[in-house]
Amino acid sequence: MEDLIAPDARLLERFGRRFAAGEVLFREGEPGQEAFLLHEGRVRLLKRVRTVERSLVVLKPGDLFGESALIPGSARSSSAVALSEGVALALAESTFRALLQNNAAIASRVLQQLVRRLRELEDQIEFTMIRDTQSKVVSALLKLASASTGTGGAVVVSPLELSSRVGLDVDTVKRTVQQLRDGEYVRIADEKLEIPDVEALRKLYGLLGVKDELRGNPDDQA
């Protein structure tokens, strides 16, 4: 994401918007006219489901967000809250379009990011179809490990990020990770979650699937 996280100084000067930790960049349902390109810091996207706000994703430098508001008449589909102080480019529709047209590197990176989001959406749909909590977390860790080739099984992910991926609250994810740690399926070192034996974790996922099948669907037993 180098092209995205190191924009021209003139772009930062003209369109850069600094924010403080805890600041709300925009709220769900509000009219929006700008997309944001995160340059520094971390931002969390939240969506209200009934009376509870659920974490959708934790954004890092180089990530694009709020782009749905560039569609005329569209409202914000989620809320954005800063997890740390930072800066983002705030780009109106005309500016964003010109940036894509005049910078092939940025256009390519944005396309890659949209493809990644589609894959993550497919993963989230898969997670919603898994009933067992531990299976959800193990499946997410296996996918992250598969994407982290060459890192010796290290997965850089926080409980908050993991909870966003699997659609569970942070406390539930922490308890599940602790269970996996007790079973020596994972290790935690230097804020990294390490999988000492990916094949062992994959076998555990298979066993959890068999257990879930044996438990069956109550509707099928009625």
Arithmetic mean of pLDDT over the chain: 82
Query: Could you tell me the two tokens for 185?
Result: 């399926």
Distance in angstroms (rounded) separating the CA atoms of residues 56 and 134: 19
Looking at CATH, the fold of the domain delimited by 2-122 is given as: Jelly Rolls (2.60.120)
For domain 130-215, the CATH class is mainly alpha
pLDDT tens digit sequence for 114-168: 887 778 778 777 777 888 899 999 998 888 888 765 555 567 777 778 887 888 8
Query: Could you tell me the two tokens for 137?
Result: 């977390």
Q: How confident is the model at residue 2 (pLDDT cuts 50, 70, 90)?
A: very low
What is the average per-residue pLDDT within 192-219?
78
Q: How confident is the model at residue 189 (pLDDT cuts 50, 70, 90)?
A: confident
Map out the domains of the chain as residue ranges: 2-122, 130-215
Amino acid 86 reads G
pLDDT surpasses 70 at 91:
yes
How many CB atoms are located within 10 Å of the residue 126 CB? 14
Question: For the chain, how far is it from start to end, CA to CA, in angstroms?
Answer: 52
CB 38 within 8 A of CB 88: yes
Per-residue pLDDT at 220: 47
Query: Higher-confidence residue: 1 or 81?
Result: 81
Per-residue pLDDT at 156: 72
DSSP three-state, residue 136: helix
Tell me how far CA of residue 59 lies from CA of 15, 126, 137, 144, in angstroms: 19, 21, 20, 16
What is the average per-residue pLDDT within 70-82?
88
Whether 2-122 and 130-215 share one fold: the answer is no
pLDDT surpasses 90 at 80:
yes
How many CB atoms are located within 10 Å of the residue 124 CB? 16
Closest CA to 22 of 86, 118, 94: 86
